[in-house]
Amino acid sequence: MATPTVVSWEQVSVPTPSGRLPARVYRPGTASPQGWLVWAHGGSWRAGSAQDWHGATAELARHSGFGVVSVDYRLAPDVRHPAMVEDILSTLAWAGEQQDGPAGAVSVLAVGGDSAGGTLAASAALVCRDRGVPLAAQVLAYPPLDPGCAAASYHRFPDLFPTASYLTAAWQDYRQPGRPVAADGTRLHSTPFEAADLRGLAPAVMATGDLDPVSDDVHHYGRLLRAAGVEVALREFRQTGHGAFLQPGPGPGPGRGPGGHPTASMRGWLGLALRRLTSPNDPGTPPSSPPWS
């Protein structure tokens, strides 16, 4: 059996226009990471922290081979959108300046998040496209995307977390009236469902559960991205509700998880899918067959 990759971590401070933000940086193994993944934790835009997500983001670094920067972005109701998206963008800029590899090498950047953090990551990916900032991937775990919570899955599972009424209140705390625009003229979306054009976005690695009230949002966004010519890897986990990114499970290895997939945990699958996407010829990466969902 292969020895599990050891993940080291450190507390850092990320400079932003509004002040310095605390973040945790996770590095897998002793070699240079394959790239940098900026991660936005969940918590309905109102709660959560890098510390609370410590185990999940450390395991994500182990599976993906990426350095993971888990950032404590500002939370509602103290601030509202677009503050959180701006914090993710500042952290991406900071991560792009980190050099763990050869001098002069261009950092491979990706953005991701779970639940409300996934919404922020998808919105940040749109800004990166519009500003010409190259992203290798957007990694999205069950992001809620419709402020109206109108999809059938919200009503198919009316008693499961997050309920439509809970998320509606969270959206109201997160968003503000108007259509925020950055100083350079870039539109700052609160959800990618606001964007008229999804062409040219970074490839998406997406996961949800079949018992998750936001699952229809995720599938709908996957269809929109594919229609726009964006590469999408999407897996729906069976008998799985919201919050599965925080649940540990067996990591990737010689065996296969349930259903023939390389990993049984959501964060393991997301990490391995990111690794496959960015380093398909890596000899340490299991083959992608059977196909992704």
Would you name the residues annotated as active-site residues? 115, 212, 242
Question: In what side-by-side order are the strands of the sheet with 7-16?
Answer: 7-16, 19-28, 67-71, 36-40, 109-114, 137-141, 204-209, 232-237
Best CA proximity match to 86, nearest among 69, 68, 72, 73: 73
Q: How many residues does the chain have?
A: 293
Whole-number Cα distances in Å, 112 to 36, 161, 165, 206: 11, 21, 25, 10
- SS3 state of residue 39: strand
Q: How far apart are CA 121 and CA 50, in angstroms?
A: 15
Query: Does residue 115 come out as left (phi exceeding 0), alpha (psi in the -120 to 50 range) or beta?
Result: left
The rounded distance, in Å, linking the Cα atoms of 18 and 83 is 9
Within 10 angstroms of residue 161's Cβ, the number of other Cβ atoms is 12
Cβ neighbourhood burial of 229 (10 Å; 0-12, 13-18, 19+) = exposed
* DSSP-derived pairing of the beta strands 232-237 and 204-209: parallel
Instruction: Give the Cα separation of 179 and 188 in Å (integer).
Output: 7
- The single-letter DSSP state of residue 265 is S
